Amino acid sequence: GQQLNQSPQSMFIQEGEDVSMNCTSSSIFNTWLWYKQDPGEGPVLLIALYKAGELTSNGRLTAQFGITRKDSFLNISASIPSDVGIYFCAGDLNAGNNRKLIWGLGTSLAVNP
């Protein structure tokens, strides 16, 4: 099925470093969502973006909805060990009643203390 292109696939960083990951698509999205998933758990919503150009922060996390509506990035500042996990972007193609999210393959983040 249709998927978002998410990069990088994996990252291994030192504690305290900043992290950046992004998602791109050939399609225009109405909404971008960023989730984090820990092993054995369901995804947890981090940030939701609703308008092109929107920049939103949640603590050390910052995400932006690209101007073209075809991309989004997530930054994590001053990483800590509990940031370890898989980060997914997800997008909503259609407005209205269609609530089907399209997902990236995830970025696996490892943090070396």
Shortest distance in whole angstroms from residue 7 CB to another protein: 13
* Separation between Cα atoms, residue 51 and residue 110, nearest integer Å: 30
Asked if 88 is part of the footprint of another protein (rule: CB under 8 A), the reply reads: yes
Considering only 11, 19, 21, 33, the residue that binds another protein (CB under 8 A) is 33
Asked if 59 is part of the footprint of another protein (rule: CB under 8 A), the reply reads: no
- 25 near 4, Cβ under 8 Å? yes
Q: Determine the 3-state secondary structure of 10 from DSSP.
A: strand
User: Do you know the residue count of the chain?
Assistant: 113
Shortest distance in whole angstroms from residue 111 CB to another protein: 20
Asked if 39 is part of the footprint of another protein (rule: CB under 8 A), the reply reads: no
Asked if 85 is part of the footprint of another protein (rule: CB under 8 A), the reply reads: no
Shortest distance in whole angstroms from residue 76 CB to another protein: 19
- 45 near 101, Cβ under 8 Å? no
- 103 near 32, Cβ under 8 Å? no
